[in-house]
């Protein structure tokens, strides 16, 4: 079997059907997929050696395939499932499709990759390549981290200088210890609104939902550099050249800060048709709020007992505003450390599993992204391929069938990813492991079997010029593992962009 992710159920029957030179037909419901079939399978419309048929009993995103000497039949209840049937046939295009049956559906409806373009910018061609790879492995959510202390990467028409100023830092860290590069980074490195629309449309053709993240009320220095009056201190700022958490945050006691965030939300919602909007909400220091007269006055007015409740107040107001725009809010799990978070908020778990488990016990929903399991910027010695393959609610001590888990997502933060070569090395073949972790039933998963199937897909990446991490490096054991540990311990903090995964 040559499929990633592994199907929920397949029964081979001996024999192979080759698609080359064949024709296809579709039910009217799948007519919009005709260009996709022609492009991905190189088939032409005709009598229908390959037929795409509606079967309303098949669950969303699922598909069934029947193959014999007479041809191929692909069944689905809706277009996304039919698309995944096309993807499975595409993976078999070179080798032929084995006779037999496939009954397939995803374990989780949400299967995502997150890309941080705030720290280091990767242009729309890199984003499109990533989206295409995601589609090829049936991943369906692209979480786009567009802003942070070190960069603002999206054009906002109402504030035309926001991206121009917020995308540039005068210097930048070369490592986690504070060594500086000594030159400017990022001028012109942001996405225009036309770029955004182009990428969102490209993703939609591949049944990928693009979720924007505008981090607030912390991780906002790149915006406050242009509008320091929206911070508590109201002093001149610059886009942060260093990594790490900054204690300059939005002033919750200033109504103009809410007006600003609402303006940003308005334009971002117009660009992204996704039903979700990610507000970040992680790593928000409260130190400035303690000494801010406006924040303290708001606390007294609203009877808030501690500074952390200011974030809760901001979150509730923002959730309500997003709801008025038809959007559901997602936030990192730190938003649970405030008061009275709305039940319909989706919590993305990256740390602090106890609070997330408690949230689930109350009927809340979550996306599983534990940093120690699936952060893609980590060296392979810390987050090897087998660990990522095990991603799921069980990674947070929950039941594999835990109610409220929408799915999984692996973030690619880019503080120490300076170029496309390193980007590829950190992302592939981890992307393939995330795809199978999110799709394949737990009872069908087998890491050794996965790596055997992976081999031919690595050859495809090689043909495409993608600098993937090779097998001898992605799951280091024995002497190789010890050597990696030594290199990471000695060099990673000082030279993070070298290939420490030796």
Residue 383 · residue 343 · CB < 8 Å: no
Domains of the chain, first to last: 9-104 (3.30.379.10), 110-440 (3.20.20.80)
Q: How far apart are CA 253 and CA 83, in angstroms?
A: 49
Angstrom distance (rounded) from CA 435 to CA 388: 10
Strand intervals (E) in 117-237: 141-145, 147-148, 151-152, 209-213
Closest CA to 396 of 428, 354, 449, 364: 354
Distance CA 298, CA 460 (A): 58
* Helix 79-91, helix 124-136: angle, nearest 10: 90
Q: Which residues contact 182 (CB under 8 A, 6 or more apart)?
A: 171
Compute the distance between CA of residue 367 and CA of residue 502 in angstroms, rounded to an integer: 32
Q: How far is CA 401 from the centre of its chain?
A: 22
Tokens 């997150």 correspond to what residue? 114
What positions carry a catalytic annotation? 148, 219, 283
Q: Which two tokens stand for residue 23?
A: 């024709």
pLDDT 10s digit of each residue in the chain, 502 long?
899 999 999 999 999 999 999 999 999 999 999 999 999 999 999 999 999 999 999 999 999 999 999 999 999 999 999 999 999 999 999 999 999 999 999 999 999 999 999 999 999 999 999 999 999 999 999 999 999 999 999 999 999 999 999 999 999 988 777 788 999 999 999 999 999 999 999 999 999 999 999 999 999 999 999 999 999 999 999 999 999 999 999 999 999 999 999 999 999 999 999 999 999 999 999 999 999 999 999 999 999 999 999 999 999 999 999 999 999 999 999 999 887 888 899 999 999 889 999 999 999 999 999 999 999 999 898 899 999 999 999 988 899 999 999 999 999 999 989 999 999 999 999 999 999 999 999 999 999 999 999 999 999 999 999 999 999 889 876 666 656 665 555 555 545 544 444 4
Q: Give the distance from CA 258 to its chain's centroid.
A: 27
């Amino acid at each position: 079997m040559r499929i990633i992710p592994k199907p929920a159920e397949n029964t081979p029957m001996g024999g192979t059907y080759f698609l080359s030179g064949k024709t296809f037909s579709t039910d009217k419901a799948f007519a919009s997929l005709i260009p996709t079939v022609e492009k991905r399978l190189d088939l032409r419309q005709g009598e229908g050696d390959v037929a795409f048929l509606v079967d309303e009993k098949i669950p969303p995103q699922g598909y069934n395939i029947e193959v014999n000497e007479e041809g191929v039949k692909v069944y689905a209840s809706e277009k996304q499932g039919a698309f995944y049937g096309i993807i499975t046939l595409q993976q078999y295009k070179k080798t032929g499709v084995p006779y037999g049956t496939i009954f397939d559906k995803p374990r989780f409806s949400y299967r995502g990759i997150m890309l941080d373009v705030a720290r280091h910018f990767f242009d729309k061609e890199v984003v499109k390549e990533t989206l295409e790879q995601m589609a090829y492995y049936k991943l369906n959510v692209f979480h786009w981290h567009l802003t942070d202390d070190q960069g603002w990467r999206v054009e906002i028409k109402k504030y035309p200088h926001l991206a121009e100023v917020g995308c540039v830092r005068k210097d930048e860290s070369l490592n986690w210890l504070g060594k500086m590069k000594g030159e400017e980074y990022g001028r012109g490195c942001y996405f225009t609104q036309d770029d955004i629309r182009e990428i969102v449309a490209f993703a939609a053709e591949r049944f990928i939902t693009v979720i924007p993240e505008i981090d607030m009320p912390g991780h906002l220095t790149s915006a406050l550099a242009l509008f320091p009056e929206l911070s508590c201190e109201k002093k001149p700022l610059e886009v942060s050249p260093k990594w790490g958490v900054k204690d300059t945050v939005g002033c919750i006691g200033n109504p103009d800060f809410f007006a600003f965030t609402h303006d940003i939300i308005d334009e971002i919602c117009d660009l992204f048709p996704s039903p979700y909007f990610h507000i970040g909400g992680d790593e928000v220091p409260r130190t400035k709020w303690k000494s801010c007269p406006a924040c303290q006055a708001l606390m007294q007015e609203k009877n808030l007992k501690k500074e952390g409740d200011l974030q809760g107040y901001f979150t509730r107001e923002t959730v309500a505003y997003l709801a008025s725009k038809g959007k559901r809010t997602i936030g990192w799990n730190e938003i649970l450390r405030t008061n009275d978070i709305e039940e319909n908020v989706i919590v993305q778990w990256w740390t602090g599993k106890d609070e997330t488990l408690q949230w689930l016990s109350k009927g809340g929903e979550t996306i599983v992204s534990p940093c120690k399991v699936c952060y893609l910027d980590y060296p392979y010695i810390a987050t090897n391929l087998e660990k990522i393959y095990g991603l799921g609610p069980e990674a947070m001590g929950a039941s594999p069938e835990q109610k409220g888990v929408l799915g999984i997502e692996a973030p690619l933060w880019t503080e120490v990813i300076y170029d496309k070569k390193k980007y590829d090395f950190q992302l592939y073949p981890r992307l393939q492991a995330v795809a199978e972790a999110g799709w394949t039933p737990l009872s069908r998963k087998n890491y050794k079997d996965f790596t055997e199937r992976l081999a031919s897909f690595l050859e495809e990446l090689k043909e495409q010029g993608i600098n993937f991490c090779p097998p001898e490096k992605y799951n280091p054991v024995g002497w190789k593992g010890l050597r990696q540990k030594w290199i990471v311990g000695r060099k990673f903090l000082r030279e993070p962009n070298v290939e420490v995964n030796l």
